[in-house]
Structure 1
Amino acid sequence: MDSSSNFISVFSKLPSVFDNSSGVDGDRKPLNLWPGMYHSPVTIALWETRSKIFQRLLDPPLDAPPQTQLLTKTPSQSRTTILYNFSSDFILREQYRDTWNDVRIGKLLEDLDALAGTISVNHCSDDDSFTRPLRLVTASVDKIVLRKPIRVDVDLRIVGSVIWVGRSSIEVQLEVTQSTEGSLPPPDSSIALIANFIFVTRDSHTGEAALVNRLSPETGKEKLLFEEAEARNRARKRKREEDKMDYENQQLDGLQALLAEGRIFCDMPALADRNSILLRDTRLENSLICQPQQRNIHGRIFGGFLMHRAFDLAFSTAYAFAGTMPCFLEVDHVDFLRPVDVGDFLRFKSCVLYTELNDPKHPLINVEVVAHVTRPEIRSSEVSNTFYFTFTIPPEAKAIKDGFLIRNVVPSTEEEARRILERRDAKQLQLREHANT
């Protein structure tokens, strides 16, 4: 497949997935299986592309056999490019513009999730109308670092492809680039953001892990990306296989040190450090009933929507904590632990998990957001997603100039102390992995 065929140029006016003129037979699927109506134009365009893939397979019947012959594909066969025509399309620009005339990060996260999913579907497709397609589930999102602000008045380009596959898992890398050179491919120096999404494949009927098409890197860069992803996968496996008891013994001293200051707040608040604050006093929360307009093409709540809502709450949490407008730096990690369905009562709970104050002019605020699917009828609440974001305060902020100090966050319970230690250790491991690659 020629990579130039996977090019999507996005404008504000796109055909609706409900419009029969788009080439999709509206009678083929019930209404509740179509995606929601109010996603971004990029997400809608990507889902239309994905729907065409499924339609090309002629919607195999329920008893269709699974794919038996694995194909070998190259990264270029799944490579897809999106161009945001911000410079010429005012309506599109308004859909993505934030208060500071930059691109809304939460909305961009939605598009990244939709693009990664479409690329994965492309790689998993065997182009056989007599076999049933695989079901892909987002497992996690690796570190996403914002290298520079993304302007909303300059064309934006996202390029993504599969960079690694295992037996039943896929890693997709996306590069967001922006330059002032019009539609020409921007140089590496204009990369604004890189994101890695990890998917697992499941048999659409049995729900069991399913083998995925092989990947054959061709260029030197593709081979290097494959090796780096393979190293990250091995590191994830080692982390899962660690002896939990040994880990807890190693962390005992750290737990006690974290809890010592928290006990002063709880037992002797008048003597507590005025430059510290209890973790529980940084919390914010919101909730919603998941609506049909928020579903994806599989009828479940779109993962990008969840990331968008989590980012908005994390930003608000950092804002209320710092007393000045924060700057987003990175998504540390996202875990998708269980699917969220239409009609679910979803609660997002956030807190400042810890701060890093080594550089007073560039303090780091690490925010945790946990999403819970709550079922009052059966008195049940389960974690569906965990999100970790890092923000800072710009040196030119009035609060910094006035000598305002970002507070140290301390836990009041052992459970809070464990969360802080686990996240700190995971972040340090992540930094070492990226430094090695």
Structure 2
Amino acid sequence: MLQLFKRPFVLTNVLRSSGVWSQNRYCTNNVNKENVAGTMSDVKAEIAKKLGIQEYWSVLPKNREHLIQYEPKSIDELPPRSMQDSFTSAIIPLSSDLTIRDKYVTFLGSVRLGRLMEDMDAFAVWILHKHVLLPNLDPSTPLPYTFVTLLVDQISFTEIIPKNDSDIRLSGHASWVGRSSVEVVVWLEQKIQGKWRKLTRATFLMACRNATNTAAAIVNPLKPANDEEKRIFTGGENRKRRRIQSQKESIFNQEPNAFEQKHIHNIFMKTMDLNNKSFNVRKIPPGAMWMEDAQLSNVIYSHPEDRNAHNSVFGGYLMRQALELSWALVYTLNRGRCRLRCINDITFTRPVPVSSLLKMHAHVVYTDMNYIEIVVVNETYDAISAEHTTSNVFYYTYVSDTPVPQVIPRSYNEAMWYLDGRRKFNAAMNLDGGNDVKIEGLTFPQ
């Protein structure tokens, strides 16, 4: 069995003494009340209040241009912040609020992971509100910022299946800060038999924009308060470098290496009829299926209720829809339930207008024994201009209790999907993509 976590995530000695952790273990002691934001409903209401966002929908959103004058012009105006300053937590009250519980429960009796991802995205924004401090801003003046999710790094899940009748706690803090970007770590726990048990952890990369979302805005620098925070900050620097390197090695920027080319050729040869020596006849090997037969699509019309604080479609809503589509695909192909092992990568390339038609396409792009790699691509369709624009790409790794069919690419386009999915899977499983050497253990970025 893969070991999902090498060690619990630890923040600082101060947080340990406040009862969040004890001796490197999660515990159920009272969290410092100053760090508790209430429920997720409280968090969302407070975000809208701090930004001065109107509660009702309007085709012409509330003008925020006047807030640009309050935007800091120099980094010298912003006091450094520590990770302790942004640490906060909130509760999803599944044990007591039956209305909330009904929105989170699946037909199998567990919790909808898509709903949890939606909350994690909103909670990441709340952590930014805790990190940002403008000393000269009048408390009655809305915050002159817009916060945007750029990407979500690998998210791994424990073996615990969330229960629909037990409270879930979100916690997190800023872990790295650039000039106008902030990395935020968010983790989930559920109270099971009186103890908080770890469910998952994710890192969000957020962009800080000005009040009208037309330009980048500088943000308070992060100054680690102790050695533990220095280690976490260094991890953020390493993840930044890894993201840059990963982008350079993308299938769009770098052709398949020799091993990958040979691998695709071997797959191709398995589909050929070697007796006839013809390229016109291809057959599917036993225990395999064509990639084109392993896909599922959905069309969603977005509504104002799906908007974020800035009248675009809320990123968490897109994450929920994509995850649930991927689950539907794997559920139908596997003819039963599969477990979501990890979310490998989520990218947000552009905002999605509320008036958009969302066309989501899920594809099984790679399989390995019991594992299934799925990519979901979100396209926005403008009915007036008839233009399709890719706004989001999501990668998911599922695991089945039984071996799954091997997916076989038929075209060159599908072969590139296959290699891209293979790279994502190997990265998620901590495999050496070039040599297929397995390294035991799924660990979070340190």
1:121 corresponds to which residue? Answer: 129
Deviation at 1:418, TM superposition (A): 1.2
Matched, 1:282 2:290: no
C-alpha separation in 2, matches of 1:136 and 1:241:
26
Specify which of 287, 306, 312 is matched with residue 300 of structure 1: 312
Deviations 1:384-437 (A, max 9, x none): 10111111223xxxxx4xxxx521001111122112212322443455495784
- Residue 63 of structure 1: how far off its partner (Å): 5.2
Counterpart selection for 2:414 from 405, 413, 416: 416
Equivalent position SS for 1:378: coil
The alpha-carbon distance between structure 1 residues 211 and 178, as it changes in their structure 2 partners (threshold 3 A), is: same
Match of 1:391 in 2: 398
1:268 alignment partner in structure 2 = 281
Instruction: Give yes or no for contact 1:65–1:131 (8 Å, CA) kept in 2.
Output: no
Decide whether the 8 Å contact of 1:255 with 1:418 is kept in 2: no
Conservation of the 8 A alpha-carbon contact between 1:85 and 1:156: yes
Q: Work out whether 1:54 is the aligned partner of 2:54.
A: no
The question of whether the paired residues in 2 share the 8 Å contact of 1:330 and 1:389 is answered with: yes
Q: TM-score, normalised by structure 2?
A: 0.78
Distance apart, 1:165 and its partner CA: 1.0
Mapped contact 2:50–2:143 kept (Cα < 8 A): no
Aligned-residue offset at 1:377: 3.4
Partner residue in 1 for 2:214: 207
Distance 2:271 2:363 in 1: 16
Q: Are 2:151 and 1:140 aligned?
A: yes
Residues 315-346 of structure 1 show CA distances to partners (whole Å, capped at 9, x for unaligned) of 11001111112222221111111111111111
The answer on 1:329 being equivalent to 2:341 is yes
Q: 2: distance between equivalents of 1:66 and 1:46?
A: 23
SS state at 1:72 partner: coil
The CA distance in 2 between the partners of 1:344 and 1:47, in whole Å, is 23
Aligned length: 383
Checking the alignment, whether the CA contact within 8 Å between 2:357 and 2:380 is kept in structure 1 is yes
Tell whether 2:364 aligns with 1:352: yes
**Counterparts of 1:85 and 1:436, CA distance in 2:** 29
Q: Using the alignment, how far apart are the partners of 1:355 and 1:335 within structure 2? A: 22
Change (3 A) 1:242 1:387: closer
The answer for the alignment partner of 1:37 in structure 2 is none
Residues 1:9 and 2:18 aligned together: no
Alignment pair present for 1:72 and 2:80: yes
Alignment partner of 1:86 is 2:91:
no
The equivalent residue for 1:98 is 106
Distance change in 2, residues 1:221/1:156 (3 Å): farther
Distance 2:209 2:97 in 1: 39
Task: Provide the rounded CA distance (Å) in 2 between the counterparts of 1:77 and 1:374.
Answer: 41
If the length of structure 1 is used for normalisation, what is the TM-score? 0.79
Tell me the secondary structure at the aligned position of residue 149 of structure 1: coil
Amino acid at match of 2:406: N
Give per-residue Cα distances to partners, 1:112-154, cap 9 Å, x unaligned. 1100112123323425147962322211111111102111222
Q: How does 1:177-256 map to 2 (within 5 A)?
A: 177-180=189-192, 182=194, 186=196, 190-205=197-212, 207-242=214-249, 247-248=255-256, 250=258, 251-256=260-265
Cα 1:63–1:320 change in 2 (3 A) is closer
Could you tell me which residue of structure 1 aligns to residue 3 of structure 2?
none
2:118 aligns to what?
A: 110
CA distance, structure 2, for counterparts of residue 287 and residue 266 of structure 1: 36
Runs of 4+ in structure 1 off by over 6 angstroms are 263-266
Task: Tell me the CA shift for residue 108 of structure 1.
Answer: 0.8
**Residue identity in the other structure for 2:112:** R
Identify if the C-alpha distance between structure 1 residues 367 and 239 changes in structure 2 by more than 3 Å, giving closer, same or farther. closer
Instruction: Write out per-residue CA displacement over residues 357-404 of structure 1, whole angstroms, 9 at most, x where no aligned residue.
Output: 1xxxxx11111110001124333211110111111223xxxxx4xxxx
Per the alignment, do residues 430 and 408 of structure 1 end up closer, same or farther by CA in structure 2, a change over 3 Å counting? closer
Q: Secondary structure at the match of 2:69?
A: coil
Is the CA contact 2:71–2:217 (under 8 Å) kept in the aligned structure 1? no
Measured against aligned partners, the alpha-carbon deviations of 1:176-208 in whole angstroms (never above 9, x if no partner) come to 1123354x7x3xxx2111111111222344733
CA contact (8 A) 1:261 1:410 kept: no
Structure-2 separation of matches of 1:206 and 1:166: 18
Q: C-alpha displacement at 1:263, in angstroms?
A: 6.3
Q: CA RMSD in A?
A: 2.9
Partner of 1:38: none
State the identity %. 26
Whole-angstrom CA distance in 2 between matches of 1:384 and 1:75: 31
In 1: Cα distance, 2:104 partner to 2:444 partner: 33
Q: Does 1:318 align with 2:330?
A: yes
SS in 2 for 1:297: coil
CA 430–167 in structure 1, closer or farther in 2 if over 3 Å, else same: farther
Q: Distance in 2 between matches of 1:230 and 1:75?
A: 15
Any idea what the Cα deviations from partners look like across 1:71-127, whole Å, max 9, x if unmatched? 201112211211233333333323322223222111111101100112123323425
Q: 1:258, 1:417 within 8 Å by CA — same for their partners in 2?
A: no
CA spacing shift, 1:206–1:137, aligned 2, 3 Å:
closer
Could you say if the C-alpha distance between residues 134 and 258 of structure 1 is closer, same or farther in structure 2, counting changes exceeding 3 Å? Answer: farther
Provide the C-alpha distance between the structure 2 equivalents of 1:98 and 1:266, rounded to a whole number of angstroms. 47
Rate the CA distance shift 1:352–1:89 in 2: closer, same or farther, 3 A.
same
How far apart are the structure 2 equivalents of 1:379 and 1:266? 37
Question: Unmatched 5+ residue regions in structure 2?
Answer: 1-17, 19-31, 54-62, 431-441
Q: Distance in 2 between the 1:338 and 1:86 partners? A: 33
Tell me which amino acid in the other structure corresponds to 1:92.
I
Unaligned runs of 5+ in 1: 11-41, 358-362, 395-399
3-state DSSP of counterpart to 2:66? coil
Residue 405 of structure 2 corresponds to which residue in structure 1?
Answer: 407
